[in-house]
């Protein structure tokens, strides 16, 4: 589910927001960044990270079998490429965007930088989440 969400933002959501005048794009993204902080999204996003950590620990103790290798790889991809990239890269950009007035010149400047930087990290999250998903599927099929 997380991979699909990131994929949507990479392929059309941010492109649609970038087509809007800066103040409207900023206001829309500020609203998205507020509404995404809800229990259901948190359960899916952080629950997947927690499950990945548990699977990684399990895999380390059972290392040597093909399925556990794929579990370990998938777990690392999700935790590092999705969860940590979000916390270290995307959230600070979201916080910087939240601090600006959408109608200000500073807002427009931040928005321009935000679009390019946020998208790079979102592409990383998308690829990492999809690769993690593929690794988990392979692990299940080899079990």
pLDDT digits (tens, 9 = 90+) for 33-60: 999 999 999 999 999 999 999 999 999 9
List the structure tokens of 43: 């359960």
pTM of the model: 0.95
Q: How confident is the model at residue 64 (pLDDT cuts 50, 70, 90)?
A: confident
Total Cβ atoms within 10 A of residue 91: 13
DSSP state for residue 83 in the 8-state scheme: I
Q: Hey, what's the torsion of the CAs at 116, 118, 123, 125, to 10 degrees?
A: 170
Does residue 9 carry a pLDDT above 90? yes
The burial class, CB within 10 Å (0-12 / 13-18 / 19+), for 12 is: exposed
Does residue 1 carry a pLDDT above 90? yes
18, 25 Cβ separation under 8 angstroms: yes
d(CA 25, CA 40): 25
pLDDT digits (tens, 9 = 90+) for 77-125: 999 999 999 999 999 999 999 999 999 999 999 999 999 999 999 999 9
Does residue 63 carry a pLDDT above 90? no
């Amino acid at each position: 589910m997380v991979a699909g969400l990131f994929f949507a933002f990479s392929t059309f959501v941010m492109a649609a927001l970038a087509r809007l005048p800066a103040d409207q794009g900023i206001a829309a993204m500020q609203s998205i960044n507020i509404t995404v902080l809800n229990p259901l999204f948190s359960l899916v996003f952080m629950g997947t990270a927690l499950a990945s950590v548990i699977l990684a620990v399990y895999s380390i103790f059972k290392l040597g079998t093909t399925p556990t290798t794929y579990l370990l790889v998938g777990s690392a991809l999700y935790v590092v490429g999705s969860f940590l990239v979000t916390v270290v890269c995307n959230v600070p950009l979201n916080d910087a965007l939240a601090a600006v007035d959408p109608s200000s010149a500073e807002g427009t400047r931040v928005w321009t930088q935000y679009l390019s930087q946020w998208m790079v990290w979102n592409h990383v999250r998308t690829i990492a989440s999809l690769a993690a998903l593929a690794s988990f599927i392979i692990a299940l099929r080899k079990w």
